[in-house]
């Protein structure tokens, strides 16, 4: 089971801040998970295929080729600006 978290405008656009998802067959990295979620269509397609979307696995920044495994927490969020 994956715990997936959505932050900022993702949370609002998707209408949810988190979900639990059984690790889909064939999904082994962040890029594959994004494709899987984008296949849901609607706002999923536009938000989860965005180039500037950031990801963390178990609260550590991750890249698109970072491996994911059953039990991981995966968070998606837009870039953060400071000031």
Of the candidates 72, 31, 71, 25, the one whose C-alpha atom is nearest the C-alpha of residue 53 is: 31
pLDDT at site 30: 96
pLDDT in tens, 27-78: 999 999 999 999 999 999 887 778 789 999 999 999 999 999 999 999 999 8
The alpha helices in 2-77, defined as continuous H runs, are 9-14, 30-38, 43-48
Q: Are residues 18 and 4 in contact, defined by beta-carbon separation less than 8 angstroms?
A: yes
């Amino acid at each position: 089971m994956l715990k997936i978290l959505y932050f900022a405008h993702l949370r609002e656009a998707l209408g949810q801040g988190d979900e639990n998802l059984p690790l889909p067959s064939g999904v082994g990295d962040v890029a594959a998970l994004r494709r899987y979620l984008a296949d849901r269509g609607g706002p999923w397609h536009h938000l989860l295929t965005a180039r500037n979307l950031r990801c963390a696995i178990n609260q550590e920044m991750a890249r698109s080729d970072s491996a994911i495994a059953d039990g991981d927490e995966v968070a998606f969020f837009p870039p953060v600006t400071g000031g």
